[in-house]
Amino acid sequence: MKKILGLSALYHDSAAALIVDGKIISAAQEERFSRRKHDAAFPLQAIKSVLSEGGISLEQVDHVVFYDKPFLKFERLLETYLARAPRGFASFRMAMPVWLREKLFLKDLLTKELRVLSATFPAEKLLFAEHHLSHAASAFFASPFERAVVLTLDGVGEWATTSVAIGDGNRLDIVRELHFPHSLGLLYSAFTYYCGFRVNSGEYKLMGLAPYGTPRYADLILDTLIDLKEDGSFRLDQSYFDYAAGLTMTNKRFHTLFGAPPRKPDSDPVTQFHMDVAASIQAVTEEVVLRITRSLRAEFDIPALCLAGGVALNCVANGALVREGTFDHIWVQPASGDAGGALGAALCAHHLEFGAPRFVEPGDAMQGSYLGPSFSDETVKASLDAVGAVYECLSSDETIDRTARAIADGQAIGWFQGRMEYGPRALGNRSILADPRSETMQRTLNLKVKFRESFRPFAPSVLHEDVQSWFEFEGKSPYMLFVAKVAEHRRHPMRQEDKDLFGIDRLNIARSAIPAVTHVDYSARLQTVHAETNARYHALVSRFKALTGCPVLVNTSFNVRGEPIVGTPEDAFRCFMGTDLDALVIGNLYLRKSEQTVAATPGYKESYKLD
């Protein structure tokens, strides 16, 4: 049996993944253990976790594969700085010491770190995969397709920012690339920065803000910033940007074009202007993706499409792809960002380096993306006893029934079950759950539980068998990566005074029978719940349906703003005690906030840096 450990690290979203004979055994992000969101450090704790899940030691691993080729990335940095010299010297001066001290000699650094786990780890076991090939492999080899077009869109890898590959059986060949500095991911990040959100973590806020605005600047972007061709290829006018060699994403010329400086995140309010800017870049992003995919279908005539890279997490654009129907089948890697590169690197080595055959799983190979650690009730009891928690032990059926009834009564529940999710989404194992029928739940969760901006939408978990009755969507969306409209017969008619509202004033209007998960444009980021991948969560939603007639739950990640999703029972209890959650359910242990005798976690929300 060939055992391969994949790693991503040192840029952002470090992770580890273990595969054995091509089967995904475990995968996890370092942030879940270190409690530092988007942690870029060497993923020592994640490695320990995935090896433990596989029941093996590092000595038993045949190869360790890194998701990037550092010399190619260094080449790109040097060429970029030289091309723009002397401009960009400040950025060059900051970047070079780190490269010359660590990243350029990555093989030595990785070997040193791995020898913490195994003193005699041989450097010959280390392999390196290209960044975009790692992304593409994570999507295609884990997909349910024997043959597919694979589109990777992100900020930048070594040189590539957009790549197209053709996957066929156990082969995967990149056939086209667009190179830095022309990047759809960096274009979106530039607007993220301009609107006052943090680059590499705030892009989803920009996407959530877009429906409050009108895309009045879309033509300006297309006419001035991006030269977009009919086939989706494009070039960005670098005279408006500073990311290639500077210390910020945009420059004064960009700010003059839009008539305002960047929003200061700590002091400037989000205004209608920012909403319109967000709507505009979202519209442009969707147009780029649609043109690329139309061209790819026409050229290759392959009916299946796989997506990976950070831009593939733009579920609004993914929903537009589904609605257009250019491809018959679309599958998106749930860990599409750099964390997923760890899995892709391992799959690259298994299939491309060693030529191992591929066995296509009937659903997909991700097992619902429940690939992290789990905890027995005995382990949970010991953890809760150690912190003085008060809990009740229930049977499995009692746990499901009591939780469903609490949600139906308007309570917000911390739900910690089974294996931890891999990727940025909580999919029903490390989730906060609530009643989508409540007209006040979205605001309550945002302000009293998540401690985040009130405009942020929440996702619905819906039984797969009921999805078409509640949403304009056919097929599966198990990874919360497609946006669809709420079904028309579930919507509420709008009064004229409601239609006349603008921006954030539209937030508190109950638009449908499930207002807590209905965004201002009637959209929702869907998760379809399947008994075959998460029987327990399916049973909970089914019980809620039996009680209320509604097969939908609010599902948001179990954390507060700026905090990684909880990873351990201790993390879950701290978050429970530091927020206004009403109850916590870990396995079959049920905790009510009103029964706890220990003090609430002081200053919990202030202990994490805002994202």
How far apart CA 280 and CA 194 sit, in angstroms, is 13
Distance in angstroms (rounded) separating the CA atoms of residues 31 and 118: 23
Positive or negative torsion for Cα 191, 201, 453, 444: positive
* Residue 135 falls inside a structural domain: no
Instruction: Say what the pLDDT of residue 83 is.
Output: 57
- What residue ranges of the chain have pLDDT lower than 70? 71-105, 454, 495-508, 610-611
Question: What's the CA gap between 32 and 372, in Å, rounded?
Answer: 10
Provide CB contacts within 8 A for 130, sequence distance 6+.
Answer: 68, 69, 72, 157, 158, 160
For the chain, the residue count is: 611
CATH number of the CATH domain containing 433: 3.90.870.20
CA-to-CA distance for 237 and 365, rounded, in angstroms? 40
Q: What is the pLDDT of residue 361?
A: 85
Closest CA to 398 of 581, 589, 553, 546: 589
Q: Cβ of 604: how many Cβ atoms within 10 Å? A: 17
CA–CA separation, 253 vs 608, rounded Å?
A: 34
Residue 154 domain flag: no
Q: Residue 434: which domain range?
A: 377-607
Q: Which two tokens stand for residue 544?
A: 């809620």
What residues are paired with 586 via a beta bridge?
A: 416, 589
Spatial distance between the Cα atoms of 8 and 255, rounded to a whole number of angstroms: 35
In this prediction, residue 341 carries a pLDDT of 97
The structure's pTM equals: 0.94
Phi, then psi, of 573 in degrees rounded to 5: -65, -40
What pLDDT is stored for residue 603 in this prediction?
A: 76
d(CA 251, CA 231): 29
Query: Per the domain annotation, does 386 fall within a domain?
Result: yes
Within 10 angstroms of residue 456's Cβ, the number of other Cβ atoms is: 17
Tell me if 455 sits within 8 A of 504, measured CB to CB. yes
**Residue 548 belongs to some domain of the structure:** yes
Q: Is the residue at 564 inside a domain?
A: yes
| Separation of alpha carbons 268 and 257, rounded Å | 20
Q: Is residue 168 in a domain?
A: no
DSSP string, 3-71: EEEEEE-SSSS-EEEEEETTEEEEEEETHHHH--TT--S--HHHHHHHHHHHT--GGG-SEEEES--HH
Domain count, the chain: 1
Domain-embedded: residue 15: no
What is the Cα–Cα distance from 512 to 184, expressed in whole angstroms? 34
Sheet containing strand 329-332, strands side by side: 171-179, 160-168, 147-153, 304-308, 329-332
Q: What is the pLDDT of residue 607?
A: 77
The predicted pLDDT at position 82 comes to 52
Tens-place pLDDT, residues 546-575:
999 999 999 999 999 889 999 999 999 999
> Which amino acid, one-letter code, is at 599?
A
| Cα–Cα distance, 463 to 484 (Å, whole number) | 15
pLDDT for 85 equals 53
Quick one: angle between helices 535-548 and 396-408, nearest 10? 50
| Domain assignment present for 32 | no
